[in-house]
Amino acid sequence: MASFQKYETKQGIKWLFKMYTTYDPQTGKKKMTTFRGYNTKKEAQKAARIVQDKIDKGILADDKITFVEAYRDWWDTHKRTLKPSTRYKSETIFNKHILPCFGKIRLKQINQDYCQKVIDKWRETLSISTTKDYRGHTQQVFKYAMQHEWIYKNPIQFVIIEKQDEHSLADMEDDETENFWDLNQFEQFQTLAIKEFDYQDFIMFIVMGYSGLRKGEMLTLRWSDLDFKNKVIRVRRTLFFKNKREIIQSTKTGSSKRETPLTDKEIQFLKKWKVMQKEHFLERGIKDIEYVVCRENLKPLRLADPNEILNKFLVNHPELPKIKVHGLRHTFASNLYAAKVDVKTAQKFLGHRRMETTMNIYTHVAKKVKIEEAGKYEDYMKNAKSK
């Protein structure tokens, strides 16, 4: 309900009315707005009815709230629901990519055309999936603003993300399904790596390649997680770094907490490494070693260590296709496919929440196998012709 009162001006007596129109972004409480300059109470009452009608229809919003103010208010609550690693990732996305584009602009001035321009700019250098991720983060702030009646329309909801050329650079770089070795290539890697790596580094890549652990899962793998008798690894935690400090947390999702197979070959290598590691630390009087791979201070390796080691190795071995560390998971998946392990089981071993993720890898491996088989046929026909 509006309240009315008189006040004096140089032009004489005027009327104003006050009514609740929006929410304060700091407190979340209703915010009182004053409307001035009416010559009579009847005129002020008529204006109040118009404003109330706009509020009821959802077309009156706070003119002054900026995107960054809405973001900060939303983030104060939302961040409490996130794991530390997810919180760090989301905060980085906002600070580096979203706030520079939207931050200082008033919410009411952000329309669909402007959002489309931002999306198009992102899409020039980012993959479809990353662009969708950024749009999703941005959309959460707009939805929050709508809940608080700071705006009444989500301007980014209906923007279009262009697919562009399916072979664009951004998509090729982001396409992790390209990122694996087949069995022969992985065996070639092992033959070279066992001669050139420290044994701990060799073990790290062997376990990731044979059992499909993510990098953070490998670096927090404890000896107590290994069950040699039943030939399984119990995956329970992962690692990420923030401000040069390691943070260990439970696995990425519920499905990531899993048991994945241990091969006889891995067990042989791991048992040998356990003896070597124990002897190494006993020389310093240390008996209890928690992690399968660790630094000299017994803490987990840096997340950057596997990347640096593998990249340096591949520079010296151009005969092997270049893959990322995460590609060892897909190497594991490709070998599951070759062994005719069904998709549902592979999904459990890999810890994928959605079966579609596993299916995408299986489909790509199948395509590569078909291409290789076609190549064999072509070679055969060429040789037959020359005879």
Alpha-helical runs (H) found in 214-326: 215-219, 264-282, 304-315
- Collapsed DSSP state (helix, strand, coil) of residue 373: helix
- DSSP-assigned states of every residue in 37-69: EESSHHHHHHHHHHHHHHHHHT----SS-BHHH
Between CA 379 and CA 159 the distance in angstroms is: 49
Q: Are the beta carbons of 54 and 63 closer than 8 angstroms?
A: no
> What separation, in Å, do the N-terminal and C-terminal C-alpha atoms of the chain show?
98
Strand, helix or coil for residue 11: coil
Cβ neighbours for 69, distance < 8 A, ≥ 6 positions apart: 25
Q: Which two tokens stand for residue 239?
A: 């690692």
Query: For strand 245-250 and strand 258-261, is the pairing parallel, antiparallel, or unpaired?
Result: unpaired
Tell me the CA distances in angstroms from 11 to 5, 16, 36, 39, 40, one per residue in order. Answer: 16, 14, 13, 10, 13
Residues 357, 346 contacting (CB under 8 angstroms) = no
| All domains of the chain in start order, with CATH | 3-57 (no CATH), 67-174 (1.10.150.130), 176-376 (1.10.443.10)
Q: In the numeric block, which tokens belong to residue 334?
A: 């490709």
Helix (H) or strand (E) holding 239: strand 237-242
pLDDT at residue number 250: 77
Distance CA 165, CA 167 (A): 5
Q: Which amino acid appears at position 193 of this protein?
A: A
| Per-residue tens of pLDDT for the chain, all 387 residues | 789 999 888 778 988 989 887 655 445 567 788 888 888 999 989 888 887 877 776 555 556 789 999 999 999 989 988 888 888 889 999 999 999 999 999 998 899 999 999 999 998 888 888 899 999 999 999 999 888 878 878 899 889 887 654 333 333 333 444 588 988 999 999 999 999 999 999 999 999 999 999 999 999 999 999 999 999 999 998 887 666 677 887 775 566 789 999 999 999 999 999 999 999 999 999 999 999 999 999 999 988 899 999 999 999 999 999 999 999 999 999 899 888 899 899 999 998 877 888 888 887 777 766 666 555 545 655 666 555
